[in-house]
Amino acid sequence: MNYQQADEQYIAHTYKRFPIVITKGQGSLVEDENGKEYIDLGTGIAVNSFGVADPVWQEAVSAQIAKVQHMSNLYYTEPCIELAQMLCSRTGMKKVFFSNSGAEANECAIKVARKYAAAKKGADCFTIVTLENSFHGRTITTLAATGQAHYHEDFQPLTPGFIHVQPGDMAALEAAAKEHKLAAVMIECVQGEGGVLPLDKDYVLALSQFVKDHDLLLIVDEVQTGNGRSGELYAYMHYGLSPDIVSTAKGLAGGLPLGATLMNDKTQDVLSYGDHGSTFGGNPVSCAAGVSILSRIDDALLADVRKKSALIFDALKDAPGVEDVSGLGLMIGVKTTKPAGEVLAACMENGLLCLTAKDRIRLLPALNIPEDILMKGIGILKAACV
């Protein structure tokens, strides 16, 4: 039985995989079982922040595995505390809850928002507003938060207490506040799965003012945009926001599962003993990886991310077969004249791995991708667009 047949027989059919078996890699280059090399502009969906098998990351992970791999949250472990301190000092947030994924980081954010609003304004103030076309995860509650109806089919009833408004539509937000008793508003600054679409700056500032005026919490989902991906440490920093809760995951530990929910001075003490927990959350190996990743995302690296972003925009914006380029930092959506799936297949054939989001090609290269490899990859993409 080959890999494809075994996968077909033994693994639930939730993923429509491409017919490639990746066996190894280094940085932004990966290799399949036949020795064919690919430039990787997908990084495992924004997870491998410094590419595949990065030596510095490997060293941090191996050193921690050699000491202690897991002790549960019944005891203190160093990497967990160190990473929480780093996250707070880099953001001004006050406390962190660690979990293992983006959906879990959002679940925690939602629990904090509900408990805060119930205590402050009454148990009926539980509704959270999210945006149409958003993506917040696959659990029953984060699906409810996700503003894309097709993900909801077949899984009803979802958790109650979520409504969705159109991005950019302040009137819809005002109407929601009249109709429902609200707890919070939750946004992605750049809708990743929704097509790599940054929210309009004026809208985000108006939304932030609205949240303050109505005594609501602002939750920013930085699961995909976070940890340097946007060209700032967190994308909300581009918008000058002061969120009450920030969730992040994907790139935080550079390839190991780690979610984090950050709480500010207002929300830091909402959760108390027994309110929330996770067996694996704050795992020392993931957290040691996180410390290593976060310590490398400094001003110089962020400037470099913004520079490479500009190079990609310049190379693609007037390219034949490209209708539009969207995004922020190294999170880029490309609307192509040809169907995105066709472009992606042609890229793969020619040694380039990229992703799609809705009707766009999505690029999420490693933050440290060498310029020559990046531009070679963009060349392959351009050729595939015509």
Q: Are 142 and 107 in contact (CB under 8 A)?
A: yes
Residue 48 beta carbon to ligand PLP: minimum distance, rounded to whole angstroms: 14
> Residue 223 interacts with ligand PLP (CB under 6 A)?
yes
Closest to 359 in 3D by CA, of 200, 250, 197, 229: 197
> Residue 193 interacts with ligand PLP (CB under 6 A)?
yes
Residue 133 beta carbon to ligand PLP: minimum distance, rounded to whole angstroms: 11
Report how far residue 196's alpha carbon sits from residue 7's, in angstroms, rounded to the nearest whole number. Answer: 30
Output 27 or 192, the one with its CB closest to ligand PLP. Answer: 192
Which span (27-35, 70-78, 95-103, 339-347) binds ligand PLP, by CB under 6 A? 95-103
Output 98 or 380, the one with its CB closest to ligand PLP. Answer: 98
Token pair, residue 288, equals 């040691």
Task: Please give the backbone phi and psi of residue 113, each rounded to the nearest 5 degrees, phi first.
Answer: -65, -40
Output 283 or 380, the one with its CB closest to ligand PLP. Answer: 283
> Residue 221 interacts with ligand PLP (CB under 6 A)?
yes
H or E element that contains 190: strand 190-191
Using DSSP bridges, classify how beta strands 182-187 and 127-131 pair: parallel, antiparallel or unpaired.
parallel
> Residue 249 interacts with ligand PLP (CB under 6 A)?
yes
Closest to 293 in 3D by CA, of 28, 58, 10, 109: 58
Site string for ligand PLP, 57-76 (x = CB under 6 A): --------------------
Residue 103 beta carbon to ligand PLP: minimum distance, rounded to whole angstroms: 3
Q: How far apart are the first and last CA of the chain?
A: 38
Residues of span 354-383 touching ligand PLP by CB under 6 A: none
Output 193 or 304, the one with its CB closest to ligand PLP. Answer: 193
> Residue 103 interacts with ligand PLP (CB under 6 A)?
yes
Output 54 or 104, the one with its CB closest to ligand PLP. Answer: 104
Token pair, residue 358, equals 């809705």
Transcribe 118-146 into DSSP letters: HHHH-TT--EEEEEBT----SSHHHHHHS
Residues of span 122-181 touching ligand PLP by CB under 6 A: 135-137
Report how far residue 242's alpha carbon sits from residue 205's, in angstroms, rounded to the nearest whole number. Answer: 10
Residue 140 beta carbon to ligand PLP: minimum distance, rounded to whole angstroms: 13
Which DSSP category does 215 fall into? Answer: T
Token pair, residue 207, equals 């939304």
Site string for ligand PLP, 295-334 (x = CB under 6 A): ----------------------------------------
> Residue 232 interacts with ligand PLP (CB under 6 A)?
no
What dihedral angle (degrees, nearest 10) is formed by the CA atoms of 49, 52, 56, 62?
110
Amino acid at 385: C
Report how far residue 54's alpha carbon sits from residue 367's, in angstroms, rounded to the nearest whole number. Answer: 12
Output 49 or 125, the one with its CB closest to ligand PLP. Answer: 49
Residue 250 beta carbon to ligand PLP: minimum distance, rounded to whole angstroms: 6
Interacting residues with ligand PLP (CB under 6 A): 101-103, 106, 135-137, 188, 192-193, 221, 223-224, 249-250
